Homo-oligomer: A and B are copies of this chain.
Amino acid sequence: MPRKIDLAPKKLPRQRRAVATVEALAEAATYILAREGLGGFTANKVAEKAGVNIASFYQYFPNKEALLFHIVRQTWERQLARLSPILTRPGEDHAVKLRDFVREFFLIEAAEVDLRRALRAASVDLKETEEFRALLAAGADLTKRFIAEAVGNGHSGNLDFDVRFVVLLTTSFAERTTDEGTGGAELIRQADPLTDMLVARFNIA
């Protein structure tokens, strides 16, 4: 039963001051989420950390979940921005692109483990909302096409299924690997065999 949480920002910040306020809140929230996890994420704490009055908080966000969602969206968009070049890079060398993609994905996850861990916890609730689904759908599309292209070549099976399979396998493994604290060179050591396996499985050339 998807609880109806209003995730839409209450009003768009028009004046420069207002933009600054929202940014300060987002920054503080990010900081707290990374440091203290979802449990430490309270409206008052965020507002204080941001140097913003708690009432102002509720001027821009109808509830704390909305801010959370704001962060999720931000993070997701930053991630997409980093991945896009690879996802849209022209050329036929799917295997190379896939390897780059997987690596980059691992690196992104690793770079913000703490924040992402918290956001993952938050997503449990957010997942039930329309907005969240919409957000994911938007970005996922690009990825799907990318995987589809790589996988699709000379492939006869169920394309949709395969795409989903690859995406789930890659992302879950990346999340889990980074979550365990793996980083640096070790990260690539984990990522590459996965790519190898995918390449082999789907005859990616």
Which residues does A use to contact B, with CB under 8 Å?
Answer: 37-39, 117, 121, 124-125, 161, 165, 168-169, 171-173, 175-177, 180, 189-190, 193-194, 196-198, 200-201
Contacts and interface: CB of A to CB of B under 8 A. Distances in A.
B173 A39 contact: no
B121 A124 contact: yes
B125 A39 contact: yes
Contacts of A125: 37, 39
Contact of A168 (B168, B177, B200): B177
Given A168-B190, A172-B175, 6 more contacts: A37-B124, A39-B125, A121-B124, A165-B193, A172-B177, A197-B197
Give the oligomeric copy count. Answer: 4
B161 A189 contact: yes
A189 B161 CA distance: 9
A18 to B, nearest CB: 15
Contact of A121 (B121, B161, B176, B177): B121
Contacts of A189: 161
Contacts of A175: 172
The 6 A-B pairs with the shortest beta carbon distances in the complex, nearest first, are A172-B176, A172-B172, A197-B197, A197-B201, A172-B173, A169-B173
B168 A173 contact: yes
A81 to B, nearest CB: 24
A124 B33 CA distance: 13
A12 B70 CA distance: 33
A35 B18 CA distance: 33
A37 B126 CA distance: 12
Contact of A201 (B39, B161, B172, B196): B196
Contacts of A124: 37-38, 117, 121
A169 B38 CA distance: 25
